[in-house]
Chains A and B, each alone.
Chain A
Amino acid sequence: MKFSVCIKQVPDVSAPISIKDGTLTQDSDRMVLDAYSASAVEEALVLIDKHGGEVQVVLVGPEKAKETIRKALAMGAASGVHIVVDDVSGLDSGAYAEILAAWHKKSDYDIILTGKQSQDTDAGLTGGMLAWKLELPYAANAVGLTYDNEGGKLTVTRQGDSGQEMIELTSPCLVTCSNDMNEPRIPSLKGIMQSKRKKVETLQLGDLGLDPDTLSSKTSKTKGQGYKEVPGREPGKKLEGDPEELVTELVGLLENEAKVL
């Protein structure tokens, strides 16, 4: 069983950020492995531990993103593919999906895993777009995966709107992973040492028959127009005192001022 896990390098979203003239500035320029991607890598590793096989990770991003591929290799992935795009700022989900589709059309895989969204944009489009372009059955927002070796069937538990849905996919197929499905492992020292000897294939967009200008001007159908602050809420009332008083005051306000009881 061969897993192809699409991973992304993202800014550390926990670092403070500010906006100036519509442009985003982060206090730290630290880039990390996207948390949803990490859950996808972890889940693939757990499944091959049980059923055999190997995990390859695929990343679209600048030269610097190679360190993120190394991180996934240190977790236990066998090999990496780095599709080098120096400036990803003009690419939307559609362009990422186009690039990943071009790669997968010429590669072997049984199951493609992606994050259900990525921490920087929270869009969650690429997985479904990629599945469509590759004509694969898919399920999104998976919180659990089990594999049946004999039938080549993957059972996905996904978080739906009312409860969880269990969907049986026939491979080849695609699943997008929630960060609720597992706790990604921290690479061991041995894993880190081994990762340095693992193979990372480097490709340019031209190798996939793609043109960077077309990807940003035509394939990307949405354009970023800058950033703005999230609007705040009107300041409320802060109540202090002993519990009985607080309760009386709150219930009065809910009944008479907010009128929500």
Chain B
Amino acid sequence: MSKILVHIATSEGKIKRSSLEVMSYCKTLADKNSMTLEAVVLDPDPAKYTDQLNTYGPDKVYQVKHPIFKNHLNAAVIEALSKVIDQSGPRLCAFASTESAKEVIGALAARHDAAAIPDVAGFTINNGSVDAERPVMAAKVLSKTSSSSELVLVSVRSGSYDLAENPGNAETVAVDFDFDESGLRAVLKEVLSSAGDKVDLSEAEVVVAAGRGIKDENGRKLVEELAETLGAAIGASRAVTESGLFPATLQIGQTGKVVSPQLYFAIGISGAIQHVAGMANSKVIVAINKDPDAPIFQYATYGLVGDLFKILPPLTEELRKIKGA
């Protein structure tokens, strides 16, 4: 029986939500096409994720245990995934579209003479063809891309699919993995986390994002206070990261991070298509902008037309009362 293999991305001892979204969808896809669903975890301690993974119904879980997976190093990830791909022989290998996955998917495809369709907004399998849709041309349109290759690698944008539990009891397979770092011509020296990364932006349930309208330090402070009150991650539009008010690591959009929280605040963001591409999968979007014609209002669940400097202080105050209660 042909197989779907899902790569499971983890962060700080937890499976990333975006990987669980991919698992949820692939379970449906596997059942519909009479395929087997398999998962692969690369981690210093991969066994600790088995219970959580079983909630999503894989038939088999490959565990690749090695201390090197504490941090991302592409050579090790490629080596390990290649080994599992050879062992499993999947028809389709699916990833959450994380920076780590994006870095390895091309090399993996070249190594396995496979097709790669990255950063898809959706995909399916029809008569042996993998059909996907992905945003192109600055996210103004979706390109329909398909492949009939024997192995297709797909990475999925976060928020493209809903979580759906499907409890099962997977067979676990410990994969032997020796990795010799000594001959490596790429060495990870250091991981620098910036202050803005307190809450992982791409996994956050609530995101407060700042745009050009916040103007200065004063606006930034108002945004930070709102985010702190909500326990939210902070994001920013390209205009604001370029101005230096927020670090580039917080940029949301087609060239930055893709987020899909339950609640997204667009503060002083006009809603350029490149930014929208990074947040349109958010469940509820609140936009605050003084320009009633700003494009962001076309996407907002609740659009507030007004001066953010006058709206944010009472909003934060009101939310503080609710959250404190």
Using a CB–CB cutoff of 8 Å, the interface residues on chain A facing chain B are: 11, 13-14, 17, 19, 22, 24, 93-94, 97, 119-129, 131-133, 137-141, 143, 155, 157-170, 173, 178-180, 221-230, 232-233, 235-241, 243-244, 246-248, 250-251, 253-255, 258, 260-261
Contacts and interface: CB of A to CB of B under 8 A. Distances in A.
B197 A246 contact: no
Contacts of A161: 9, 11, 72, 98-100, 200, 202
Contact of B262 (A132, A235, A260): A260
A122 B140 CA distance: 12
Contact of A250 (B185, B241, B315): B315
Nearest to B119: A122
B137 A120 contact: yes
A254 B226 CA distance: 15
Interface stretch (B31-39, B47-55, B171-179, B247-255): B247-255
B28 interface: no
Say which size band chain B's interface belongs to. 35 or more
A178 B255 CA distance: 8
Contacts of A123: 116, 118-119
26 contacts: A94-B115, A94-B116, A121-B143, A124-B102, A128-B105, A133-B110, A141-B103, A159-B249, A160-B100, A161-B72, A161-B98, A163-B192, A167-B73, A221-B114, A223-B146, A235-B298, A236-B300, A236-B303, A238-B305, A239-B302, A239-B305, A246-B304, A250-B304, A258-B263, A260-B284, A261-B319
Interface string B102-128: 111111111100111111000000000
Contacts of A221: 109, 114-116, 147, 149, 152
A169 B186 contact: yes
Contact of B184 (A126, A137, A158, A243): A137
Sorted nearest first, the 7 A-B pairs with minimum C-beta distance are: A128-B106, A163-B193, A221-B115, A125-B106, A137-B186, A137-B185, A132-B110
B188 interface: yes
A243 B310 contact: yes
B115 A162 contact: no
Given A230-B140, A250-B286, A132 B100 contact: no
A247 B263 contact: no
A246 B102 contact: no
Contacts of B111: 132
B68 interface: no
Contacts of B221: none
Contact of A224 (B143, B188, B189): B143
Contact of B106 (A17, A127, A168, A237): A127
Interface of B: 9, 11-12, 71-75, 98-100, 102-111, 114-119, 131, 133-147, 149, 152, 184-194, 197, 200, 202, 206, 241, 248-249, 251, 254-255, 262-263, 280, 283-286, 292, 297-307, 310-311, 314-315, 318-319, 322-323
Nearest to B132: A222
B71 A229 contact: no
Contacts of B251: 180
B145 A224 contact: yes
B141 A24 contact: yes
Given A93-B116, A140-B74, 16 more contacts: A17-B141, A122-B139, A122-B254, A124-B119, A155-B189, A159-B99, A168-B187, A236-B303, A237-B303, A239-B305, A241-B306, A246-B311, A251-B315, A251-B322, A253-B302, A260-B284
B133 A228 contact: yes
Q: Which of the listed residues A17, A123, A173, A225 has the most CB atoms from chain B within 10 Å of its own CB?
A: A123
A178 B251 CA distance: 12
B113 to A, nearest CB: 8
Contacts of B136: 120-122, 227
